[in-house]
Amino acid sequence: MAQINFGGVEENVVTREEFPLKKALEVLKDETIAIIGYGVQGPGQSLNLRDNGFNVIVGQREGSKSWDKAVADGWVPGKTLFGIEEAAERATIIQYLLSDAGQIAVWPVIKKHLAPGKALYFSHGFGITYKERTGIVPPPDVDVILIAPKGSGTSLRRMFLQGRGLNSSYAVFQDATGRAFERVVALGIGVGSGYLFETDFKREVYSDLTGERGTLMGAIQGIFAAQYDTLRANGHTPSEAFNETVEELTQSLMPLVAENGMDWMYANCSTTAQRGALDWWKKFRDATKPVFEELYKEVAAGNEAQRSIDLNSKPDYREKLDDELREMRESEMWQTGAVVRKLRPENN
């Protein structure tokens, strides 16, 4: 583990150079890793671990769509694919990758298979941080660890197949064996992380919930909609409004930001664009900062967690979610986006 200076602040970081895959395989050579859940993170993490040579099994409810997806991905019933309880029993490391609501529901099953010396692994700090609300309280004789890839399981898998890595945070909540650190770092390397930066369960979930509701998903959709609607109200066509709002950002400018930073992207745009962006960015910051401050307070108070628990546990949750997503999908902006994507050169 090295200390790296980020903008004047020293942080603990683990790289693949100092903790290579060969070392990770040695650390976990006698372990059986069970991936419980095959939804958002399960496929990417399990397939990357399998391809990297680790002993991995999957636990999923038989007959579910996720079970069928696991079979399609090459997991073999009775050999590498089992029901949730059997997989948890076989494992020395349980990667608990069900949804937050799913983790609450299945916890009694998982808990009874947490024998001393096992490790309980999360990719989200939700269940542990809000344990008074979730009821997820691990026994004291197991390691409790976290690897949180900074992106979806789909992105994790795609980048792995491209020979790249998606950065992840890591945390140790409970070190019962004295091996929790080497276990969590080995798993972080195994699932395909670029580099690993230290956090704790509370900081992970606070930043994650804020980010998802903020710039990663909620805020960006809100800004897209506001600009698109303004352009359309002033006579611009759907194609023009979408290209100026979404397409240019995602296809042209954000890759430049990822490559060398926002200042470099500014420097490689027209002087007119530079001037306008420099004049207006602080106005957008000042307009949105109160919303982010309110959001963070709601996350820290546990209100966002409780809302997720309450709504996502309802029997009609999936139907209501589909209705909300359909409303977005069928909006003019994203209907236009579907046409624009088909017109990209790589799709013709």
Known binding-site residues for Mg(2+) equal 208, 212, 244, 248
Q: What are phi and psi of 29, to 5 degrees?
A: -65, -30
**CA 151 to mean position of chain CA atoms:** 4
> Catalytic residue among 46, 58, 101, 124, which?
124
What is the biggest distance separating any 2 CA atoms in the chain, rounded to whole angstroms? 67
Is residue 219 a contact partner of residue 288, using CB atoms and an 8 Å limit? yes
- The tokens describing 148, both together, are 């949180």
Classify each residue of 251-279 as buried b or exposed e, where b means 16 or more C-beta atoms within 10 Å of its C-beta. eebeebeeeeeeeebbeeeeeeeeeeeee
Verify whether residue 113 is a known catalytic residue: no
Q: How far apart are CA 174 and CA 69, in angstroms?
A: 33
Q: How far apart are CA 281 and CA 134, in angstroms?
A: 40
Binding site, by residue number, is: 208, 212, 244, 248, 270
Is residue 194 a contact partner of residue 221, using CB atoms and an 8 Å limit? no
- Enumerate the active-site residues: 124
